[in-house]
Structures are given as C-alpha cells and as structure tokens.
Amino acid sequence: KEILKKEEFEFNSHNVSLKENFRKLSMIEAIKEHAEIDFSQINSLEQALELAQKHNLRLEKFQKSIGHIILAFFEEFVEKKLIQPTFIYDYPIEVSPLAKSKAENEDIADRFELYIGGLEFANGYSELNDPIEQKKRFEEQTKQKELGNEEIASFDKEFLEALECGMPPAGGLGIGIDRLIMLFTEQNSIKEVIAFPQLKMKKENN
C-alpha cells in the first residue's frame, strides 16, 4: 500500500481488492458455496463416485478416494471463481503427502492455500515429521504414480533417512512470487514479469 499507493488491481480480467480482510473457507465450504455440492453429507466412496458421474466430472485412475474427488470438484468448479483473496483450508490428506494431519481429524491436512483472481498464490502447511507415517505416504504416492499420476515425485529415501535422525515441529509457506508481481503490475502473462522467459525457436522457412 505504501509503495504502490493503491489497493485495487486489474488482474486476470477481474478487479481484485486488497482493502478488506481475506476470506477463509474450508475446501468443503467453498465447494458448497460455489458449486452447491455438500460433501459433508458424503460418507462413502460410492456416493462420491456417483456425484462425480452426475456432474460429468472425469476422474483419472488414481482419483479413487473421497479426498481426490473432493479436490477434483474444487479444481473443476471452484478454483476459477475465487477472484477476491481467499484462504482455502482443510485439504484432504490424500492430496497433501508432506503435511501433518489435524489432531482432531486425521483425514484432513493442516494446510491452506491462498487464491486470488482464480489462481493459486501460496501453499502452506505443517510439515510431517514422523518418518513412519511419511514412508506410508510415499508408498501410497508410488501406487498413484503407477496408476498414471505424473505429478508424483519419486520415493525419497534420503528424505526419510533425514527424518529418522529427528526433525523438530516445522511449517512452511511457498509463495508464487511471479504471480504476486503479476498482480501488483497488472500483467496477465507470466512472460511479462520474468527476466528470461522461455520462448519457442522461430522456424526458418525453407
């Protein structure tokens, strides 16, 4: 505010205001508000799969858990509608392999993300520091990778060995600096805010 002398920005074809406190919604609350689907009433995988079929939501082979289906609904029907700054919390543990689960509900990760202009700006969570639980998570991730999840990293043995040596309670926050600069400079293309954007080679006419 002191540097830019403004609190409203044109970003991603929307007017974004930073004047008010950022909203906070659990992922299930956000889906209910923006897609009118209440996952708090879904108690089985069969119900979740039926819901996905009803809404013509295509699922990959590895997306066969309630948590994965909740995230799929969020990404398909909610994410692009989060125009004003909004913190989304209570992510399913299945899609948060490095985060601690909440003490009151082991199916929910102690994690949040910040959305502005329909895009993710930050991802933060309490770090999982239990090597036994982390190994189980990595093993589950390996199964997902075999089913076609290309975003899964390889089983990290060195990381597990480091955890076994001991890790104090910790948390982290990753911020999309490029997107933050895009917002403040009102740019819609990341190529406009990085020094050396990757460009395709120009084809020469033969």
- Domains along the chain with CATH numbers: 8-129+168-185 (3.30.930.10)
Q: What is the mean pLDDT of the chain?
A: 92
CA separation for the pair 55, 112 (Å, rounded): 26
- Report, in angstroms and rounded to the nearest whole number, the Rg of the chain calculated over CA atoms: 20
pLDDT at 38: 96
Mean pLDDT of the region 13-40: 96
CA separation for the pair 84, 23 (Å, rounded): 8
Residue of higher predicted confidence among 120 and 1: 120
Q: How many CB atoms lie within 10 A of CB 85?
A: 18
**Angle, in degrees to the nearest 10, between helices 45-54 and 66-73:** 30
Question: Do the Cβ atoms of 93 and 108 come closer than 8 Å?
Answer: yes
Map residue 205 onto helix, strand or coil: coil
**Residue 146 binned pLDDT confidence (cut-offs 50, 70, 90):** confident
Residue 200 neighbours by CB under 8 Å, 6+ apart: none
CB-based burial label for 144 (10 Å; 0-12, 13-18, 19+): buried
CA dihedral 97, 89, 31, 153 (to 10 degrees): -20
Which residue's entry shows tokens 């989304």?
88
Question: Do the Cβ atoms of 27 and 90 come closer than 8 Å?
Answer: yes
Residue of higher predicted confidence among 141 and 87: 87
Map residue 155 onto helix, strand or coil: coil
For residue 62, give the DSSP letter: T
Residue of higher predicted confidence among 195 and 178: 178
Residue of higher predicted confidence among 46 and 204: 46
Map residue 113 onto helix, strand or coil: strand
Question: Do the Cβ atoms of 92 and 108 come closer than 8 Å?
Answer: yes
